[in-house]
Amino acid sequence: MAMQLGQQIAVDFDVPARMRDGTILRANVYRPVGEGKWPVLLTRLPYGKDFPMATSILDPTQVARRGYVVIIQDTRGRMRSGGEWMPFINEALDGVDTIEWASRLHYSNGNVGVYGASYFGYTQWSAAVHQPAALKAMVPLVTWNDPLNGVMLRGGAIELGSMASWNLMMGLDVLMRRHRGDPQALGRSISMLAQEMDSLAQSGYSSLPLSEFAPFKRHDVAHYYFENLVWQIDRENNQVKSMTILGKHENVTAPSFNIGGWYDIFLKDTLDNFKIMREQGSTAEARQSKLLIGPWTHSGYSNPIGELNFGFASSAAFIDLQIDLTSLQVRWFDHWLKGIDTGMLREAPIKLFVMGANVWRDEQEWPLARAVDTRYYLHSGGQANSLRGNGLLSTESPGSESPDQYDYDPAHPVITRGGALLMTPEFRPGPFDQRETESREDVLVYTTPVLEQDVEVTGPIAVHLWASSSAPDTDFVARLVDVYPNGYAQNLNDGIIRARYRNFSKGEQPTLIEPGKAYEYEIDLWATSNVFKAGHAIRLDITSSNFPRWDRNPNTGHDIGADDELAVAHQTILHDSEHPSYIVLPVVPIVAPPTAPPPEQ
């Protein structure tokens, strides 16, 4: 693709835009020098338009040199913009107003595209559901559509790791505004908040009760967040409704290029955003949406990821040895905003990175039509506890088998190690060796025999677990692991279910469980794409905590967040003919390359 570089760039700082209620939001504008009109690329974020994060997803100077106006705006109540910071509440209408404003700038040709990651992926969707006329295309990266499945909660458990650290980080600007006229007070408050952030992993995450979360209370930042945790699972709550895109996709008319990572905290919704728009988009353009999934984390797009080297071509800086992430986005916008035939719509709508094989591959649909949902059943002699146990995973259905048991003590939870994380620096995201975790007696380990041939697993994954507990409420956690010949245990994905919310996805209200009674729980592990190589093994870990990524269930059955007491739960995992426990893996047939015909005699 030819790139038109070399054009001089002008940068206008703190450009004001008036919202419908009179509030002024400010943006930095990067644009070509000279007379003319160009399409606009807009992003709206709460992290500071003048900070490196604002330019990390798409380089505005390079893009402006390619004939675009790039606008980076501070959202309401943040940094240089006016108004009050109320997370999520005002983003939809502010986004609509900003898109219209951008389309009418004297150097704009009226066509607007939006881009950005995470919160500023959400600001795209929240405006797009209102169908702003000037919006022609979107590139949402690593963002959500359902806040009750990855933002605030997961399976009914609280996303403590990300919510505590994110809300404290967002408090920095809150304090700067609060003490703007008093430098000494500002210095003290910032220093104290920084200490709070630095001690979160050592002590802050453990603060109880959650409804009085001390790290928030001590600084009066985000104090509202954990005060009444019941609202977080109420879809009629105003903040939850503001954050929810699910159910509103049909209003979106612009095509979206959805980008995510296998170790991203919003992987499932990135996949679903693509699938819904592709199949149910209300316009022909919306149904041309595309998907790209790398081996990436929420904020890590370069190799290595976690502990593993996925290869040079896995990096967003040189995707499949063909294109960098900025140029890929520009190629998308060139089609929709400039009318240039870049060939993108003739290419496969999906590009996935297949871990294990460490290759990029084009696909036509999600989930893959050729994948075969295959049940791998849990087996043991009644002692699957830890790596030293006798847990087995196989495709054979169980007969008469003894259950496995362990005690879950929330005072000594299983500690988070790797995965789809956005937490303090002590908890790094991505793949990490799970053997230390798997050495615990309160972790059940089920492993297949060594594989004789490669097994590819690409698609959605769920665990069906029959379990009982001595507690009226408790948690169950499942993790899929790739075991290397040397024993290295690579976590691929995981999930959690809080017993009282076991039927929440079916629209039912939370109810406590009857101690000692067996229930079938479905644990959504979201998805992955991985080739378990010959000589490796497939493993499933079952336990009851992953702290502080998810809050500890105190096992008391009391209101969520109210407890400062913790009780031990005795857990029983059943896997017999009447209570088959299993993981469903979408196994993709591996087609051998054609063999060359024998030479003619």
Query: Active-site residue numbers?
Result: 118, 264, 298
CA 571 to chain centroid: 29
> Residue 32: what are its φ and ψ, rounded to 5°?
-65, 145
DSSP letters spanning 88-156: TTTHHHHHHHHHHHHHTSTTEEEEEEEEEETHHHHHHHHHHTT--TTEEEEEEES--S-TTTTTSEETT
* Lookup result for tokens 């469980």: 513
Q: Residue 127 forms beta bridges with which residues?
A: none
Q: Is 277 exposed, middle or buried (0-12, 13-18, 19+ CB in 10 A)?
A: buried
Separation CA 189–CA 172 (nearest Å):
9
d(CA 469, CA 405): 10
Residue 416 contacts residue 551 (beta carbons within 8 Å): no
Q: Are 340 and 348 in contact (CB under 8 A)?
A: no
**Residues paired with residue 110 on neighbouring β-strands, in sequence order:** none
Under 8 Å between Cβ of 44 and 90: no
Residue pair 555/471 in contact (Cβ under 8 Å)? The answer is: yes
CA–CA distance, 154 with 538 (Å, rounded to integer): 24
List the structure tokens of 175.
């304090």
- Which residues have CB under 8 Å from 457's CB, separation 6+? 528, 529, 530, 531, 532, 538, 585, 586, 587, 588
How far separated are the first and last CA of the chain, in Å rounded?
Answer: 47
CB 34 within 8 A of CB 64: no
Three-state DSSP at 438 gives: helix
**Helices 160-178 and 183-198, interaxial angle, to 10°?**
170
3-state secondary structure of 571: strand
Taking the mean position of all CA atoms in its chain, how far away is CA 399? 38
Decide if 387 contacts 445 (C-beta within 8 A): yes
